[in-house]
């Protein structure tokens, strides 16, 4: 990804894509303490707009707070930076990646004495789990890796280090011929996907694990909660067992990258009709209406660039 034309916002200025570099003795590279966001901009009916920019920026600052990192820019500056990279790279719809990391002044586990850095990049990125996955649903494997316990790496931070867990789970699932992994928490209850929150539907009620299962407080998860309320669909946050997913009528993943992706199979067990179910389709359509600017109720979630 490094060999491209374009601009990346780095510590307050736009630099050439190929020059957006850091030193090999960067603290975060060695010890994994850093935080990031995944944000999307859509080519809406009113032009290019970033979806829930404020919520993503707030979560980035909360992640940094949890990791005791003081981002040396204001939320306004970081929000502006996200708009700037979309514009500077002439992107109509794209994925945006803000990241804050600890610098290279010194190594050793204690990060004290290091500068905190911030960057924002953006690039075109289609359906994360494939266009076909969005339509037909994906095949998921329950991971042999346990999701982080809430008192180990801090699950409400979108921390760089949390993703070694996601990578292991995702690699295992892909090597075994699946599309994505589903992780259980340390008590064996359903937590989330490697990069997605999970929902199941049974008898018309939508269920999702509560955050004590170690799942990230997903912004798409929250969007789906609003959608369910609008559609008059009951939504319950609760502990969910693996076998409840097997016998669910429908299931889906949510995430900024994954959007709303139906799950058609878990561990070779077909879920419901084995393809996108009717409730998932309704929620998915409502989601794409919102992000594409077709639902005026949520116009305030779209920030024009
Ligand atoms: N869980 C994990 C582990 C993730 O990486 C993501 C993607 N950010 C999500 C859930 C979904 O969060 P969001 O909807 O805010 O993108």
Confidence of residue 158 (pLDDT cuts 50, 70, 90): very high
pLDDT digits (tens, 9 = 90+) for 210-260: 999 999 999 999 999 999 999 999 999 999 999 999 999 999 999 999 999
C-alpha–C-alpha distance, residues 87 and 9, integer Å: 11
Closest ligand 1 atom number to CA of residue 221: 14
Task: Output the pLDDT for position 69.
Answer: 98
Task: Output the pLDDT for position 12.
Answer: 98
Instruction: Please state, for a pLDDT cut of 90, what percent of the chain lies above it.
Output: 98
How many angstroms separate the first and last alpha carbons of the chain? 24
Task: Look at domain 7-123 and name its CATH class.
Answer: alpha beta
Question: ipTM score of the complex?
Answer: 0.99
Instruction: Please state, for a pLDDT cut of 70, what percent of the chain lies above it.
Output: 100
pLDDT digits (tens, 9 = 90+) for 29-65: 999 999 999 999 999 999 999 999 999 999 999 999 9
Task: Output the pLDDT for position 210.
Answer: 97
Q: Please, what's the b/e burial string for 45-54 (b: 16 or more CB within 10 A of its CB; e: otherwise)?
A: eeebbbbbbe
C-alpha–C-alpha distance, residues 76 and 251, integer Å: 37
Residues designated as active site: 158
pLDDT digits (tens, 9 = 90+) for 280-299: 999 999 999 999 999 999 99
Give the CATH superfamily of 131-291.
D-amino Acid Aminotransferase, subunit A, domain 2 (3.20.10.10)
Task: Output the pLDDT for position 170.
Answer: 98
Kindly give the residue spans of alpha helices, DSSP state H, lying in the chain.
27-31, 53-66, 75-88, 131-136, 163-175, 219-231, 242-246, 278-291
Pocket test for ligand 1, best of 37, 160, 196, 253 (most atoms within 8 A of CB): 196
Task: Output the pLDDT for position 94.
Answer: 98
Helix (H, G, I), strand (E, B) or coil at 296: helix
Token pair recorded at residue 143: 């991971």
Nearest to 122 by CA among 102, 97, 145: 97
What lies within 8 Å, CB to CB, of 121 at 6+ separation is: 8, 9, 17, 20, 85, 96, 97
Ligand 1: residues whose CB is within 6 Å? Answer: 38, 166, 192, 195-197, 216, 218-221, 254-256
Instruction: Measure Cα distances from 197 to 26, 73, 137, 213 in Å.
Output: 31, 29, 15, 11
Closest ligand 1 atom number to CA of residue 219: 15
Specify the pTM. 0.98
Confidence of residue 83 (pLDDT cuts 50, 70, 90): very high
Average pLDDT score over the chain: 98
């Amino acid at each position: 990804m490094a060999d491209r034309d374009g601009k990346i916002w780095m510590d307050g200025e736009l630099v050439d894509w190929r020059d957006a570099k850091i030193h090999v003795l960067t603290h975060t590279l060695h010890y994994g303490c850093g935080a990031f966001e995944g944000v999307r901009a859509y080519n809406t009916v009113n032009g290019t707009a970033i979806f829930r920019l404020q919520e993503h920026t707030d979560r980035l600052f909360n992640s940094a707070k949890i990791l005791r990192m003081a981002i040396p820019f204001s939320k306004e500056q970081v929000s502006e930076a996200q708009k700037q990279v979309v514009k500077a790279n002439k992107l109509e719809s794209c994925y945006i990646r803000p990241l804050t990391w600890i610098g290279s002044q010194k190594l050793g586990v204690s990060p004290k004495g290091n500068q905190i850095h911030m960057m924002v990049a953006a690039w075109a990125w289609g359906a994360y789990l494939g266009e076909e996955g969005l339509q037909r649903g994906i095949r998921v494997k329950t991971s042999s890796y346990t999701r982080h316990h809430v008192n180990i790496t801090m699950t409400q931070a979108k921390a760089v280090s949390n993703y070694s867990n996601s990578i292991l789970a995702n690699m295992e699932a892909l090597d075994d011929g699946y599309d994505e992994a589903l992780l259980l928490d340390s008590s064996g209850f359903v937590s989330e996907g490697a990069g997605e929150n999970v929902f199941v539907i049974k008898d018309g009620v939508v269920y999702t694990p509560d955050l004590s299962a170690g799942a990230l407080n997903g912004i798409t998860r929250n969007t789906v909660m609003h959608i369910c309320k609008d559609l008059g669909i009951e939504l319950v946050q609760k502990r969910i067992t693996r076998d409840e997913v097997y016998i669910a009528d429908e299931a889906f993943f949510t995430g900024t990258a994954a959007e709303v992706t139906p799950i058609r199979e878990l561990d070779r067990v077909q879920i419901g009709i084995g393809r996108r179910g009717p409730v998932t389709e309704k929620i998915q359509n409502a989601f794409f209406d919102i992000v594409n600017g077709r639902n005026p109720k949520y116009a305030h979630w779209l920030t024009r660039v």
